Amino acid sequence: MEDNFTEEQVQLSKEQLAARRKEITEFYKSNISHLKAQKEYEQLLTDIEELRAKRVQAQMFLAQAYGPDLAEEKEQAAEDFNKIMEEDEEAPRRTLKRS
């Protein structure tokens, strides 16, 4: 679709430009209070998320500090594994029947 505007219709007068700028400026100024409220809201959400992350991190630290020692668990698991492997090596080897 082709626009058939004359050059006069496309070009705004200086007064029209000034009026348009004033209208846009008023629009922005009227929205500043809303944007400030939104900024405060978003900042509070961010603060809450940061505090949640810190709380989870603290809980993990406490769980590790008061939980079982992983090194001991790893050693016990290795001992259990080695014991199983030794028992397996001592077991007689069985082979498949051949027909």
Alpha carbon distance 63, 58 (integer Å) = 9
Res. 15: pLDDT tops 70: yes
Average pLDDT, the chain: 83
Q: How many residues does the chain have?
A: 99
> For the chain, what is the HEC assignment?
CCCCCCHHHHCCCHHHHHHHHHHHHHHHHHHHHHHHHHHHHHHHHHHHHHHHHHHHHHHHHHHHHHCCCHHHHHHHHHHHHHHHHHHHHHCCCCCCCCC
CB burial readout 89-99, b (16+ within 10 A) else e:
eeeeeeeeeee
Share of the chain above pLDDT 90, in %: 41
Share of the chain above pLDDT 70, in %: 79
What tokens does 66 get? 């008061």
Convert the pLDDT of each residue in 61-95 to its tens digit. 988 888 777 777 788 888 888 888 777 666 666 67
- Residue ranges per structural domain of the chain: 13-89
